[in-house]
Amino acid sequence: VSYPYARFFHEVDDELLNSLIKVNVEGTTRVTQAVLPGMLQRKRGAIVNIGSGAAIVIPSDPLYAVYAATKAYVDQFSRCLYVEYKNSGIDVQCQVNLFLVLLFRVFGIAFWN
């Protein structure tokens, strides 16, 4: 989940704020929590999370502060889990797309349709 358009932090309404946190932070965490026990039992598995260059590639992402912060959580969460479970046969990755985000913002369209 991201912003429909750029806005200052004080302009982010509660509904959008809650959506960003629920999907990007809580959703990622709870799905991981649900699938991890089975992977540990099987001694193998892969968790692939979707991050964003807005969180780790560019130094800051003004007008998308909450989005960038939630994606920074996804990146750090993935890095920590990778270290915790790498010897258990479970690979954890965070795929970071920067190019798609920039194209979307430049053209303002859903170019993947």
Our count of domains for the chain comes to: 1
- Position 13 in a domain: yes
Neighbours of 84 (CB within 10 A): 12
Residue tagged active-site, from 67, 73, 82, 85: 67
- Position 43 in a domain: yes
- Position 55 in a domain: yes
Does the pLDDT at position 101 exceed 50?
yes
- Position 86 in a domain: yes
- Position 65 in a domain: yes
Q: Which domain holds residue 95?
A: 9-107
Does the pLDDT at position 113 exceed 50?
no
- Position 3 in a domain: no
- Four-residue CA torsion sign, 103, 59, 61, 8: negative
- Position 82 in a domain: yes
85 catalytically annotated: no
- Position 66 in a domain: yes
Please list the residues that pair with 49 across neighbouring strands: 94
What's the pLDDT tens digit per position in 34-51? 999 999 999 999 999 999
The pLDDT, as a whole number, for residue 111 is 46
CATH code: domain of residue 14: 3.40.50.720
**pTM of the full predicted structure?**
0.83
Residue corresponding to tokens 């797309």: 97
